[in-house]
Chains A and B, each alone.
Chain A
Amino acid sequence: MAKALDYESLNENVKKTAYAVRGELYLRASELQKEGKKIIFTNVGNPHALGQKPLTFPRQVVALCQAPFLLDDPNVGLLFPADAIARAKHYLQLTSGGLGAYSDSRGIPGVRKEVAEFIERRDGYPTDPELIFLTDGASKGVMQMLNAIIRNENDGILVPVPQYPLYSAAITLYGGSLVPYYLEEEANWSLDFNNIRQSIASARSKGITVRAMVIINPGNPTGQCLSEANIRELLRFCFLENLVLLADEVYQQNIYQDERPFISARKILFDMGPPLNKEVQLVSFHTVSKGYWGECGQRGGYFEMTNLSPKTVDEIYKVASISLSPNVPGQIFMGLMVNPPKPGDISYFKFEQESKAIMESLRKRAHIMTDGFNSCRNVVCNFTEGAMYSFPQIRLPARAIEAAKSAGKAPDVLYCLKLLEATGISTVPGSGFGQKEGVFHLRTTILPAEEDMPAIMESFKKFNDAFMEEYEDYRGYSRM
């Protein structure tokens, strides 16, 4: 009797799915770590894993919510400030039985109200808490929406290249088609609408119904912050082409330049007025994993729906209800993030200090890393305007590309494996995110501690320049 479940009889879509962020490089790095090698994991945006400390106030609040009996203890004030105690009581009251009870499948109503108030303060337009669903991390929300949209392989989703491979993985898992649109590296990874129009036309000529467009702003892995003009054109495009816009805005707090501050797609949509503001369908995603909070392990996120009909929202609610509810501590982190300590609160000063220190350091590290890469032979790197990553282009010599082919590996995979073995720096090859044919990159994060950065960049430069020396032909590779 054939085995009940063997590789051959698995769902094909599962087999086709790839997620490089925890793929080959990461697995190799983990192996080396087990063997005792010191590894610097820069494969995933995971700030606390690289030494960033959690903000104090939210941890105090959630600890009190975990152990409400502390609130009755006369000594609680010895360990917790009064505003953390008050906030814990506030959130416990909003739950239907503390952290251990399933909440509403959309998330605790009181927290969703806090999120709505945050969105209104940020954008200047009111929003309905009923259209905000909290999720176990933003990724779950992305997967829920893509699952709702994709009917079969003839449904296409426009995805930026390079992209965060959650999108390609989810589209493959759900049996849809990824329709790529290329970001312009030479123009600071900006949108090229001619290219987007070509992509959509090409897909349609193959019988694909393009249903949605994904935009990641600030970009991952590319880090660019979109201009208002770009976003306006994007929204007009979605309106004309009848696409729902999926706006991944999880890095909205991570901005390292002042020319292009973050503006949400929703704000611009409403600024544009009728008919777009009532017609364009938009889903916006946010998380507690990034920004200066970096609370990846809590799995807190939300999505906000704009211009989806009540019946559609009901169906999305139905699917959310099967998983019963998002985790309650993560929901409280979300509430705290959108509603942090205010001037005058006891914890405000410390909270501000901690937050500013992280943001200033991230900005510094964005520069250190970009400059460091640009000082390396055959490496060109756009500035990390936002998010948490650096995505340098590695101009691999022809002989390196051949060597990779002989080894049966993509050229950037070979480069990253050698980088890993030589320096312990664990990155993700650009092929994991998508790139133009024949152009190679790697993604690393700007998250290693500031004091470790110079040594890391030096280590990288040493490896890279030696690699280039080894593989260049005697004429050298001209920098064009």
Chain B
Amino acid sequence: MGSDATAPVTVESINPKVLKCEYAVRGEIVTHAQRLQQKLQTNPSSLPFDEIIYCNIGNPQSLGQQPITFFREVLALSDHPALLEKPETSILFSSDSIARAQQILSSIPGKATGAYSHSQGIKGLRDAIAEGIAARDGFPANADDIFLTDGASPGVHNMMQLLLRSESDGILCPIPQYPLYSASIALHGGTLVPYYLDEATGWGLEISELKKQLEDARSKGITVRALVVINPGNPTGQVLAEENQKQIVEFCKNEGLVLLADEVYQENIYVDDKKFNSFKKIARSMGYGEEDLPLVSYQSISKGYYGECGKRGGYMEVTGFSSSVREQIYKVASVNLCSNISGQILASLVMNPPKLGDASYESYVAERDGILKSLARRAKALEDALNSLEGVTCNKAEGAMYLFPQVRLPEKAIEAAKEAKKAPDAFYALSLLESTGVVVVPGSGFGQVPGTYHFRCTILPQEDKIPAIISRLTAFHESFLNKYRD
């Protein structure tokens, strides 16, 4: 190993922004869980549980969720177009998946799925996505506004890179937030300006809080450049009311902020009294056009009912920017040439799924609704279970894939945590892991009101595992409280 004292690349000499950034979703607790998992493999009875259950990350297919058949049929045909020339293919594939694959392939120059595409993504696929957006919102969308990316995350990085010139540039972010935002702001050398969601009112977003934080930042010499809104929320799961969204749009317009709308959970809504409205739709319905509001809307193929995390597909729809700014966005995208083609194809399928009358429509709807209904049931079951625990309150998961309960930790536990040199909720999460094998992410990884403690748990384990998880969690929590009772 290179001797650290003199070697050119050491922890002492690497980019300090790399050292500064953090990402708890795959942080310390996960590394520990992996070590325990290896231990179980070599000695299955060495721990008080049989298996590690990863509830730290929104990764549905790793926990048994099945992909949508139609989507995978189209992808298989697109990956191996030679299949389309064989008569046997019509025995194994649905007729509409064959037709869709043919249509997609003919929109790709030379039908070459192995070629780098246009740096914004294949035009024909962007057309399909624009149509999907227009059908969803009732307002037109332009294929040239769409940038297909390897997941939504690279698009977030692109915008942070563009917006952040120095530490004096700030981005308003919700607390709690999905730590991609805090990490990318740190990596790109900017300042995170927090605005607190109100736990007492179901994680409500108050404009007065936005205003307060904005003014506070400005008084410290920070130029606030953008507002991040995650809707539905992660980790908090709330779905914004239309009125709220309108206020947010007005706020951004009046204060000259770019609105970065993370809408990757738009198809994960579990309550009947709330509906997803894209910020673009809201802005357009208020009469605001391109000249009024710079807006970046993010969507991903990783979530929803499709859960195709491993494919890395997503897009950002960029509206309200001058052409010279858009050229810069394009230029940065072009350095990486293009996003993976399979992910691009999936994004077009997600935004343009089978329709009534298509051969696969019924089975598609059955698969989709099966997954969404099951997610809603699991959200409820876990929410109720968490709320039944002593000292634990858990807001409803109106959407997304997570529960974010607050745990009132006894003083003794907080002291024990201090001694162990861990944040109190990290201490709790670690104890939970060691007793039950369930991996959650401490609330400190997302940000929270100081003095409060949370953890984020996904609702993704398969339904048949939920009762066991609940009973183990309940037993652990009781014994933890008894151990540290004041």
Q: How many A residues face the partner with a CB closer than 8 A?
A: 104
Tally of contacts, chain A with chain B, CB under 8 A? 311
Bound-complex Cα distance A79 to B86 (A): 8
B77 touches A63 (CB 8 A): yes
Instruction: Tell me the smallest distance from the CB of A111 to a CB of chain B, in Å.
Output: 12
Residue of B with least CB distance to A33: B109
In the complex, what residue of chain A is closest to B186 when comparing beta carbons? A322
Are B165 and A12 in contact, with the CB atoms below 8 A?
A: yes
A449 to chain B, nearest CB (A): 11
Q: A136 to B72: give the CA distance in the assembly, Å.
A: 21
B75 to A139, Cβ gap below 8 A?
no
B324 at the interface (CB under 8 A from A): yes
A327:B310 contact, CB within 8 angstroms: yes
Interface residues of A in 314-335 (CB under 8 A from B): 315-316, 318-319, 321-330
**Does A384 have its Cβ within 8 Å of any Cβ on chain B?**
no
> B437 on the interface (CB 8 Å rule)?
no
Interface residues of A in 152-189 (CB under 8 A from B): 166, 169-170, 173-174
Contact partners of A295 in chain B: CB under 8 A: 114
B225 CB-CB contact with A under 8 Å: yes
Which chain A residue shows the least CB distance to B227? Answer: A4
Q: Which stretch (B199-207, B242-250, B329-337, B392-400) binds chain A?
A: B329-337
The residue on A at minimum CB distance from B153 is A323
Identify which of A63, A242, A321, A327 contacts B311 (C-beta below 8 A): A327
Cβ-based interface call for A206 (8 A): no
Interface-centre pick from A21, A63, A298, A310 (highest chain B CB count, 10 A): A63
Specify which chain B residues have a CB less than 8 angstroms from the CB of A13 in the assembled complex.
161
Q: Are B162 and A4 in contact (CB under 8 A)?
A: no
Q: Which residue of A lies closest to B113 (CB)?
A: A297
Interface residue A224 (Cβ < 8 Å from any Cβ of B):
no
B85-102 contacts to A (CB < 8 Å): 86, 88-89, 91-92
B151 contact set on A, CB distance < 8 A: 323-324
Q: Is residue B23 contacting chain A, with contact meaning CB distance below 8 A?
A: yes
C-alpha spacing A2/B255, complex, angstroms? 10
**Chain B CB within 8 A of A207 CB:** no
Chain A residues, CB < 8 A from B73: 67
Most chain B CB neighbours (cut-off 10 Å) among A6, A48, A310? A48
Return chain A residues, CB-CB under 8 Å to B19. 315
Q: Known contacts A149-B14, A299-B150: does B76 contact A63 (CB below 8 Å)?
A: yes
Residues in chain A near residue B116, CB distance under 8 A = 44, 46, 49, 289, 296-297
Interface: B15 (CB within 8 A): yes
B271 to chain A, nearest CB (A): 26
Shortest Cβ gap from B182 to chain A (Å): 10
- Output the nearest chain B residue to A318 by Cβ-Cβ distance: B23
A192 to B15, CA, bound (A): 30
A309 B325 Cβ-Cβ under 8 A: no
C-alpha gap A51/B115 in the complex (Å): 10
Q: Residue A148 at the B interface, CB < 8 A? A: yes
- State in angstroms the CA–CA spacing of A322 and B183 once bound together: 7
Q: Which of B57-65, B131-139, B401-409 contacts A (4 or more CB under 8 A)?
A: B57-65
CA distance A63 to B86 in the complex (A): 15
* A455 on the B face (CB < 8 A): no
Please state if A79 and B114 are interface contacts (CB–CB under 8 Å). Answer: no
Docked Cα-Cα span, A199 to B340, in Å, equals 38
The smallest beta-carbon distance between A302 and chain B, in angstroms, is 15
B302 CB contacts on chain A under 8 angstroms? 102
**From B154, which residue of chain A is reached at the shortest CB distance?**
A323
Report A42-83 CB contacts with B as 1/0, cut-off 8 Å: 001011110100101001101110111110010110110000
How far apart are the CA atoms of A311 and B2 in the complex, in Å? 11
Of A68, A75, A76, A170, the contact of B335 (CB 8 Å cutoff): A170
Residues of A within 8 A of B26 (CB): 105, 321, 324
Minimum CB–CB distance from A353 to chain B (whole Å) comes to: 15
Measured CB to CB, the closest approach of chain A to B421, in angstroms, equals 18
- Those of B63-84 within 8 Å (CB) of chain A: 63-64, 67, 69, 72-73, 75-77, 79-80, 82-83
Closest CB-CB distance, A204 to chain B, in whole Å? 14
CA distance A146 to B72 in the complex (A): 36
Which of B7, B114, B309 contacts A54, CB < 8 Å? B114
Please measure, in the bound complex, the distance between the C-alpha atom of A296 and the C-alpha atom of B342, giving whole angstroms.
12
Is A431 on the interface with B (CB-CB < 8 A)?
no
CA–CA, A420 to B91, complex, Å?
47
CB proximity of A15 to chain B, nearest CB, Å:
7
Partner of B88, one of A19, A75, A143, A296: A75
| 8 Å CB contact of A73 from B4, B92, B164 | B92
Contact partner, B59, options A62, A102, A244, Cβ 8 Å? A102
Say yes or no: is B45 at the interface (Cβ < 8 Å to chain A).
no
* Stretch from A93-101, A391-399, A403-411, A467-475 at the B interface: A93-101
Is A139 a contact partner of B86 (Cβ separation < 8 A)?
no
Q: B14 contacts A298, CB within 8 Å? A: no
In this assembly, does B11 line the interface, its C-beta being within 8 Å of a C-beta of chain A?
yes
Q: How far is the CB of A259 from chain B (nearest CB, A)?
A: 31
B115 to A101, Cβ gap below 8 A? no
Query: Known: A7-B322, A97-B59. Is A140-B336 also a contact (CB below 8 A)?
Result: yes
By beta carbon, the residue of chain A nearest B310 is A328
A308 at the B interface (CB under 8 A) = yes
- A1 & B79 in contact (Cβ 8 Å cutoff): no
A429 to chain B, nearest CB (A): 16
In the complex with contacts A48-B114, A79-B89, A322-B153 CB distance below 8 A = yes
B61 engages A101 (CB within 8 Å): yes
Q: B307 contacts the other chain (Cβ, under 8 Å)?
A: yes
Q: Mark B163-183, 1 if CB is under 8 A from A, else 0.
A: 111000000000000001001
| CB-CB contacts below 8 Å: A265-299 with B | 278-281, 289, 294-299
B9 part of interface (Cβ distance < 8 Å): yes
Please give me the residue from chain A that is nearest to B109 by CB atom.
A49
Contact with A along B254-279 (1 / 0, CB 8 A): 10111000000000000000000000
Bound complex: CA A11 to CA B6 (Å): 33
Complex Cα distance A78/B7, Å?
Answer: 57
- Compute how far the CA of A101 lies from the CA of B312 in the bound complex, rounded to whole angstroms: 10
- A351 CB, nearest partner CB in chain B, Å: 14
Does B2 contact A19, Cβ atoms closer than 8 Å? no
Task: Specify which chain B residues have a CB less than 8 angstroms from the CB of A321 in the assembled complex.
Answer: 23, 25-27
The complex places the Cα of A358 from the Cα of B60 at a distance, in Å, of: 40
Mark A1-29 against chain B: 1 for CB-CB distance below 8 A, else 0.
Answer: 11111110111111101110111000000
* Chain A residues, Cβ within 8 Å of B332: 14, 17, 173
The answer to whether B112 touches A97, judged by C-beta atoms less than 8 angstroms apart, is no
Given contacts A48-B114, A66-B76, A148 and B14 within 8 Å (CB-CB): yes
Q: Which single residue of chain A is at the shortest CB-CB distance from B259?
A: A4
Nearest CB in chain A to that of B86: its residue = A79
> Is there contact, CB below 8 Å, between B72 and A95?
no
Chain A residues 118-136 with CB under 8 Å of chain B are: 136
Distance in angstroms from A42 CB to nearest chain B CB is 13
Could you tell me if A76 and B2 are in contact, using CB atoms closer than 8 angstroms?
Answer: no
CA gap between A5 and B154 in the complex, in Å: 19
CB neighbors of A among B273-322 (8 A): 294, 302, 307-312, 321-322
Q: Does A369 contact B (CB under 8 A)?
A: no
> B67 contacts A136, CB within 8 Å?
no
> Given A243-B8, A327-B310, are A298 and B342 also a contact pair (CB < 8 Å)?
yes
Additional 14 contacts, C-beta under 8 A, given A136-B340, A151-B13, A321-B26: A7-B322, A15-B328, A19-B335, A47-B114, A97-B59, A97-B61, A148-B14, A316-B18, A319-B21, A323-B154, A324-B25, A327-B343, A329-B311, A330-B340
Q: Report A's interface with B, CB cutoff 8 A.
A: 1-7, 9-15, 17-19, 21-23, 44, 46-49, 51, 54, 56, 59-60, 62-64, 66-70, 73, 75-76, 78-79, 95-103, 105, 136-137, 139-140, 143, 147-151, 166, 169-170, 173-174, 211-212, 242-244, 278-281, 289, 294-299, 307-312, 315-316, 318-319, 321-330
- A-B CB contact pairs (8 Å), 24 listed: A5-B162, A6-B325, A7-B324, A23-B334, A54-B113, A59-B79, A62-B79, A78-B91, A100-B60, A100-B311, A101-B309, A136-B312, A140-B336, A143-B336, A148-B18, A149-B14, A151-B15, A211-B13, A243-B8, A244-B9, A278-B1, A295-B114, A307-B7, A327-B311
